[in-house]
Structure 1
Amino acid sequence: MRNVKELLIFLKYSLTVTPLLAYPDLKKPYVLYTDASNDTIGACLTQPCEEEETHLSCLRKEKPIYFLSHKLSDTQSRWSTIEKEAFSIHYALQKLDHYLHGAEFIIRTDHKPLKYLLLSPQCNKKLQLWALGIASYNCKIEWLAGTDNTIADYLSRRPPGQEGNQNQSETIEVDISDKAFQINTLNSNKFNPKDFASCNKL
Structure 2
Amino acid sequence: MPDYSKPFVVETDASGKGIGDVLMQQSHPIAYISRSLAPRHQAMSVYDKELMAFIFDVTKWSHYLIGRAFIVKTDQKALKHLLEQNLHTDFQVAGISKLMAFDFSIEYKKGIDNKVADALSRKPDAELLAISLLTLNDFLYEQIKGTCLHTRLVKEIRTAVKEVGGVTILALEKMPLVKSVIYETLRMDPPVPFQTVKARKNIIISNHYASFLINKDEVIFGYQTLAMKDCHVFKNTKEFNPNRFIGDGEKLLKYVYWSNGKEIDNPTMNNKQCPSKDLIVLLGRLLVVEFFMHYDTFEIEFGKLLLGSKVTF
In structure 2, which of residues 116, 140, 144 is the aligned counterpart of residue 183 of structure 1?
A: 144
Contact 1:33 1:43 in 2 (8 A): yes
Map 1:3-152 → 2, pairs under 5 A = 23-48=1-26, 62-152=27-117
Deviation at 1:92, TM superposition (A): 0.8
Partner SS for 1:34: strand
Partner SS for 1:44: strand
User: Residue 65 of structure 1 aligns to which amino acid in structure 2?
Assistant: I
Partner SS for 2:25: strand
1:129 and 1:141 map into 2 onto residues whose CA distance is: 19
Q: CA RMSD in A?
A: 2.2
Choose between structure 1 and 2: higher helix proportion. Answer: 2
User: Residue 104 of structure 1 aligns to which amino acid in structure 2?
Assistant: A
1:64 and 1:129 map into 2 onto residues whose CA distance is: 29
User: Residue 108 of structure 2 aligns to which amino acid in structure 1?
Assistant: W
1:155 and 1:90 map into 2 onto residues whose CA distance is: 17
Deviation at 1:72, TM superposition (A): 0.7
2:229 — aligned with what?
none
Deviation at 1:153, TM superposition (A): 0.2
Higher relative contact order (CA 8 A, sep 6+): 1
Per-residue CA shift, 1:59-89, capped at 9, x if unaligned?
xxx1111011111111111111111110000
Partner SS for 1:75: helix
Per-residue CA shift, 1:110-156, capped at 9, x if unaligned?
00011111112212111122122223201011111111111100110
2:6 and 2:121 map into 1 onto residues whose CA distance is: 26
2:222 — aligned with what?
none
Contact 1:104 1:138 in 2 (8 A): yes
Partner SS for 2:122: coil
Percent identity reads 36
Say if 1:93 and 1:79 are closer, same or farther in 2 by CA, change over 3 A: same
Partner SS for 1:106: strand
**Greater Cα radius of gyration, structure 1 or 2:** 2
1:132 and 1:107 map into 2 onto residues whose CA distance is: 17
Say if 1:47 and 1:161 are closer, same or farther in 2 by CA, change over 3 A: closer
Q: How many residues are aligned here?
A: 132
1:63 and 1:161 map into 2 onto residues whose CA distance is: 24
Per-residue CA shift, 1:164-184, capped at 9, x if unaligned?
xxxxxxxxxxxxxxxxxx739
2:145 and 2:102 map into 1 onto residues whose CA distance is: 23
Query: Runs in 1 of length 4+ with deviation above 4 angstroms?
Result: none
TM-score in terms of structure 2 length: 0.40
Contact 1:47 1:63 in 2 (8 A): yes
Deviation at 1:160, TM superposition (A): 9.0
Gaps of 5+ in 2: 128-142, 147-237, 239-313
Partner SS for 1:141: strand
